[in-house]
Amino acid sequence: MATTAADALESHDTHEHHGPEKGLKRWLFTTNHKDIGTLYLVFSLVMFFIGGSMALIIRSELMHPGLQFVHPEFFNSMTTMHALIMVFGAVMPAFVGLANWMIPMMIGAPDMALPRMNNWSFWILPVAFGILLSTLFMPGGAPASGWTMYPPLVLQTGDAFPFLIFSVHLMGLSSIMGAINIIVTVLNMRAPDMWLLKMPMFVWTWLITAYLLIAVMPVLAGAVTMLLTDQFFGTSFFLAAGGGDPVMFQHIFWFFGHPEVYIMILPAFGVVSEIIPTFSRKPLFGHDSMVYAASSIAFLSFIVWAHHMFTVGMPLSGQLFFMFATMLIAVPTGVKVFNWVATMWRGAMTFETPMLFSLAFVFLFTIGGFSGLMLAIAPADIQYHDSYFVVAHFHYVLVPGSIFAIFAAAYYWLPKWTGYMYNETAGKWHFWLSTIFVNLTFFPMHFLGLAGMPRRIPDYSTQFADFNFMASVGALGFGLSQLIFVYILLTAKRGEKATDRVWEAPRGLEWTVPSPAPYHTFTTPPKARIAQESFE
Amino acid sequence: MTGAEEQRKRKIRRTALIMAAIAVAFYVGFILMGVLRA
């Protein structure tokens, strides 16, 4: 039977007050939400660098026309592994890590509701990615079909195929367990006067994200299970020769894949909605409308999947439905951008590193949103499809979108985690170099795509050489800039002591506990409303 | 353990089981859809 936080507290009360265990055992067996949050964040940083190294291999190969360093098959493996690692190993675990650290503190709970399951959710991940990375050394090489794993191409994977399927199942299991924990925690562990609509936006966006995860990760698991049975058990779900339908896989995959995009961006919206009010010294404009906008985005994400598949052929009515439904997402997204700008309007703004990353998020994510609108137009998409324009679009959403929000969150809450202020000068260098290089990397890809350069190719025509060179220089610069972040983390405890409130005008229960946050917080529920009012 | 804590524990288990059931339903449902179409 699952162990709940109530059990943990009960056993906790019968012992003397204690801190963390010593050594490796602390990290292997921990059920503490802060420890598990740290594990997730460190894991995602490691994966960010592994996936980033793969991106640099891709960009090195594409720096000049012609084949330079790697075989085309290995190039395909790199694009596939880069995507899988960045999506499931870097971005998602980083947000789960932030959720683990912050949600219990933000809602006044002593821990996550199911602490042992929380430990399992994390420790499944290194196993999953160990398996996935081991495929690089297998006969036939690592998977090379793209992260979309379309059949029949994916069925040509060598020995790596069952390992790919198993690792995807494990990643899904970990995500579902994490999502269940977040929903159960938010619904059952809030401080008595923390009403749902009073919850911080980060908690709200994560609650909505968790529902999305529960609905769509099993769909991905189902799709890859069917791939597995097609390959090894003689079924023909997706094999045309046996009466199956390869396009059905695309429908199922994108039923998962599109909400997955929002799984990676909704928590980023939450982070930015916490940071902008703090550094504008104003409450968030339109808190409730932000909640409704996030919920609308989540709902719409379920009915737009086929905009990824306009070129497979579908009835005109289908094209029109998916085109207009996709465009509709711009409305709640616009509400969010409007509210962030309105929060800043006439605010006493200052520009510390978390705020800089959040501002860049608002500008650059919006660029990704606009190119998404262009791709939503069915007749235009037929031109853009599978071109570098698509690569530019989703990298604008995910790098200066999700990843910048993760950096913003790390800088924002780091003093609360460590008890010390980070190196602000180094933080600003990190921000400016990242912002310059991220644009140098991905903006030229728009032009490449519009000029007709296809994605997922190791060689290209010479007319694309200049923009590719710029993108490769930008990628190298962006990769090196991230070493500043590592330096900041390694020297995080060398700064001046952080106060409990850390910033001048933060809101929320997490700022009522000491810095660094004690190992156990809110063992008795706080008065959420009184704490909140004391800030205002 | 007080009555309120006991009740909260029950709610936690019930919510977790409902969520797990939804996840399993999506998994089985989509495979079943594939079986019926094949």
Cross-strand pairs, A420: A497
- Chain A residues in contact with B23 by the CB 8 A cut-off are 176, 180, 214, 217-218
- Chain B residues in contact with A237 by the CB 8 A cut-off are 34-35, 38
What 3-state DSSP class applies to A498? coil
Q: Do A180 and B20 touch (CB under 8 A)?
A: yes
Give the C-alpha separation, A36 to A103, whole Å. Answer: 13
Contact A275, A408 (CB under 8 A): yes
To the nearest whole angstrom, how far is the Cα of B5 from the nearest Cα of chain A?
A: 7
Residue-wise pLDDT tens digits, A454-511: 999 999 999 999 999 999 999 999 999 999 999 999 999 999 999 999 999 999 999 9
Give the C-alpha separation, A80 to A326, whole Å. Answer: 26
Residue-wise pLDDT tens digits, A392-401: 999 999 999 9
Residue-wise pLDDT tens digits, A246-286: 999 999 999 999 999 999 999 999 999 999 999 999 999 99
Q: Which two three-digit tokens encode residue A305? A: 């999947």
Q: What pLDDT is recorded for position A4?
A: 56
Q: What pLDDT is recorded for position A151?
A: 96
Contact A235, A229 (CB under 8 A): yes
Q: Which of A188, A252, A255 sits opposite B11 (nearest CB)?
A: A188
Look at residues A352, A477, A490 and name the one whose alpha carbon lies nearest to residue A420.
Answer: A490
Q: Kindly state the average pLDDT of the residues A212-218.
A: 97
Q: Hey, what amino acid is at A195?
A: W
What 3-state DSSP class applies to A522? coil
Phi, psi of A500 (to 5 degrees): -65, -40
* Residue A520, C-beta contacts closer than 8 angstroms, at least 6 positions apart: A12, A17, A32, A110
Helices (H), A88-189: 92-107, 115-134, 160-188
Q: Do B26 and A222 touch (CB under 8 A)?
A: yes
Give the C-alpha separation, A99 to A121, whole Å. Answer: 13
Quick check: is A18 catalytic?
no
Assess whether pLDDT exceeds 80 at residue B1: no
Q: Kindly state the average pLDDT of the residues A401-423.
A: 98
Which pTM value belongs to this model?
0.94
B4 reaches A (C-beta below 8 A):
no
Q: What integer best gives the mean pLDDT of chain A?
A: 94
Residue-wise pLDDT tens digits, A427-448: 999 999 999 999 999 999 999 9
Q: What pLDDT is recorded for position A13?
A: 45
Query: From A221, which residue of chain B is nearest by alpha-carbon distance?
Result: B27
* Residue A366, C-beta contacts closer than 8 angstroms, at least 6 positions apart: A337
Assess whether pLDDT exceeds 70 at residue A6: no
- Chain A residues in contact with B2 by the CB 8 A cut-off are none
Q: What pLDDT is recorded for position A52?
A: 98
Query: From B36, which residue of chain A is nearest by alpha-carbon distance?
Result: A237
A243 dihedral zone (left: phi>0; alpha: psi -120 to 50; beta): left
Contact A517, A416 (CB under 8 A): yes
Q: What pLDDT is recorded for position A3?
A: 52
Q: What pLDDT is recorded for position A252?
A: 97
**pLDDT-derived band of residue A15, with 50, 70 and 90 as boundaries?**
very low
Q: What pLDDT is recorded for position A164?
A: 98
Residue among B18, B22, B26 with most chain A CBs within 10 A, to mutate: B26
Assess whether pLDDT exceeds 90 at residue A288: yes
Q: Kindly state the average pLDDT of the residues A164-169.
A: 98
Quick check: is A175 catalytic?
yes
Which residue has 């790596």 as its token pair?
Answer: A160
Q: Which of A214, A226, A245 sits opposite B23 (nearest CB)?
A: A214
Residue A291: other Cβ atoms inside 10 A: 19
Q: Do B27 and A237 touch (CB under 8 A)?
A: no
Q: Kindly state the average pLDDT of the residues A169-197.
A: 95
Query: From A182, which residue of chain B is nearest by alpha-carbon distance?
Result: B16
Q: What pLDDT is recorded for position A528?
A: 66
Q: What pLDDT is recorded for position A16?
A: 45
Give the C-alpha separation, A193 to A357, whole Å. Answer: 32
Q: Kindly state the average pLDDT of the residues A89-111.
A: 97
Look at residues A121, A120, A104 and name the one whose alpha carbon lies nearest to residue A112.
Answer: A104
What 3-state DSSP class applies to A420? strand
Residue-wise pLDDT tens digits, A196-209: 999 999 999 999 99
